Amino acid sequence: AKAVSDGTAARLGVGAGIAVGVFGIDVMSIVADNTSIKVVGDAALKGVTVTSDHDNTEALQAQAGSAGGISITPVLALLISGAHVESSLGKYTYLLNATEDVSISAKSNCAREIAANASAAGGSVGVGASFCISVLNDSATAALRRSMRARTVKIVAVCRSSLKSTS
């Protein structure tokens, strides 16, 4: 999202810019509690894989300018964002046997950029103020909630969040 404003006047120049971004996402791979997993015939259950992956980029920019004898420019960029990624194999009464591997993974990667730019050209007074505010809430959860027998059991949850803020 991008907000741009520009104001010019002989005596008093006022420019203002506000950009607000609200983003949210839930990514889930879930085998619910009390779900029976059955193998048909005499075959054995080989392995189980439950995976959730999320990769996201967000950008928010607010910019304004003004010119005049007295020039005032306030700018605000506000970003509210969250990503929740979850993978789970739910509860069940009986032991689940697998002849090979069990893997449950939840991975989230969020890259964000937020910028606010205020310019004020005043003949006698120029005031430019820019503010970036971010409220972020990211998470990744992976869970095995039932009794399990397998060659290997791997449970991984990774959440990476980066923020570049320029004001």
User: Is the overall model pTM greater than 0.95, yes or no?
Assistant: no
Tens digits of residue pLDDT in 26-80:
999 999 999 988 888 888 899 999 999 999 999 999 999 888 888 899 999 999 9
Beta strands 96-97; 17-31: pairing state: unpaired
- Cα 142 to Cα 21, 75, 98: the distances in Å are 29, 40, 19
- On the 0-12 / 13-18 / 19+ scale of CB atoms within 10 A, 18 is middle
